[in-house]
Chain A
Amino acid sequence: MATFQFDLVGPERILYSGAVDAVQLPGSEGEMTVLPGHAPVLTTLKTGMLVITESPQHGKRVLVRGGFAEINATSLTVIAERATPVEELTPEIIDADIAAAELQYDATDDYDRKRDIEGQIAQLREAKVALSF
């Protein structure tokens, strides 16, 4: 099966770089799976699971929180604001994030922002369930 170049870049370090079969992205307009030869797309990301398939039956999952994906036929670059590989993730980290988001929610009066944060919290809860914590 054909592969393509995938780079996952966090603000503090490069988290992943290599050839992969497929990557599933939490796009802000909906989940999408990128395969080799994808049409060029630039999309924003929401909080959610990014699933990397390196080869059939082998993959990694990374929790990303906001960012961008630049897709073209031969490569995919994800610029994630915050990204944590599932292996490094603990329920405590997600709980702390949910608590921080709730604090922000209470602190702001802007309705658009409130809605954004509400969405974030829901997605974090979802991620927590998905990891069966």
Chain B
Amino acid sequence: MPSLKDLRNRITSVKATQKITKAMQMVAAAKLRRAQNAAESARPYAERMAQVLGNLAANLTPGAETPRLLSGTGQDRTHLLLVCTAERGLCGAFNSSIARLARDHARRLMAEGKTVKIICVGKKGYDVLRREFRDQIIELIELRGVRQLGFENAEGIARNLLGRFDAGEFDIATLFYSRFRSVIAQIPTAQQIIPAEIATTAAASGASADAVYEYEPGEGEILAALLPKNLTVQILRALLENAASEQGARMGAMDSATRNAGEMIKKQTLIYNRTRQAMITKELIEIISGAEAL
């Protein structure tokens, strides 16, 4: 039987924990709003980019040489997995569900006899994947010091990727991140980024599809310049979606943690009060029986 003092300490400590989780939830809610805004305002850019690229790819003169970023290397021997996770934990299943998706993917590829290379963006995914894929992980990119994710961060990663692609280090690159559906639903997603998957639906771009464009400089050069930018945009979008998802997941996790702490406090307080009453009763009995004995 724990003493009264023990119980009191336990209640105080749970209360302190509850205060922390409550504060974290509120911080996450504030950050979520900002991250969500950033993700939403980045969307038109990515959409326009995809539209222009789709037009370009659809109108590409047949027989012209397509850049390798679009057509691929013609092999699929070496796969690169770019796994984007958060830098911080305490956000529910967010990190582990992305890592699990990447792990399943890597296992399947390895079972097929393909070479797998992994680049981790974010420390938490690295911590999880390191156990199983120590030899496959070739780099860890940390975005710890970054306050506001910007174009520059994505550009750095894209440039890193392009350098490796040009050096022939991999054939296919897949991006893993969590898509932000709503505050309570984040969907871990795998997306192939090299070779680029482009929706060549002319209908989506509307009237401009049938217009014959003049290209300045040539269409091949534009496509060659546009594809690396598209890669940057895709990565930026993934990072922004990830940031919003992370805050959403943390908000949910901290909300339930606060509720659990509340329940625990209630339970402990009940035990504390019962114990206190039992002790008073016991003392009373002792006093009364002492008086009767006289």
- Using CB atoms and an 8 Å cutoff, list the residues of chain A in contact with chain B: 7, 9-14, 27-29, 39-44, 68, 70, 72-73, 77, 79, 81-82
Contacts and interface: CB of A to CB of B under 8 A. Distances in A.
A7 B291 CA distance: 94
Given A43-B216, A44-B217, A68-B226, A11 B233 contact: yes
B233 A42 contact: no
A40 B207 CA distance: 12
Contact of B216 (A9, A14, A29): A29
Contact of A79 (B52, B56, B150, B219): B52
Interface stretch (B43-51, B123-131, B270-278): B43-51
A66 B38 CA distance: 21
Interface of B: 38, 41-42, 44-45, 48-49, 52, 55-56, 150-151, 208, 211-217, 219, 221-222, 225-226, 229, 233, 236
Contact of B151 (A9, A70, A81): A81
28 contacts: A7-B48, A11-B45, A11-B233, A11-B236, A12-B41, A12-B151, A13-B41, A27-B216, A28-B216, A28-B217, A29-B217, A39-B214, A40-B211, A40-B212, A40-B213, A41-B213, A41-B215, A42-B55, A42-B215, A42-B216, A43-B216, A44-B221, A70-B55, A72-B208, A72-B213, A77-B48, A81-B151, A81-B229
Task: Identify whether the interface residues of B are mostly helix, strand, loop, or mixed.
Answer: helix
A72 B211 contact: yes
B52 A70 contact: yes
B198 to A, nearest CB: 15
Nearest to B56: A42
A107 B123 CA distance: 27
A42 B213 contact: yes
B30 to A, nearest CB: 19
B57 to A, nearest CB: 12
A28 B218 CA distance: 12
Contacts of A29: 216-217
Contact of B49 (A13, A41, A79): A79
A79 B212 CA distance: 20
B282 to A, nearest CB: 69
A68 B215 CA distance: 11
> What 7 A-B pairs come out closest when comparing CB atoms?
A43-B216, A40-B211, A13-B41, A11-B151, A41-B214, A40-B213, A42-B213
A42 B211 contact: no
Contact of A82 (B41, B151, B216, B236): B151
Contacts of B52: 42, 68, 70, 77, 79
Contacts of B219: 42
Contacts of B150: 12
A70 B53 CA distance: 11
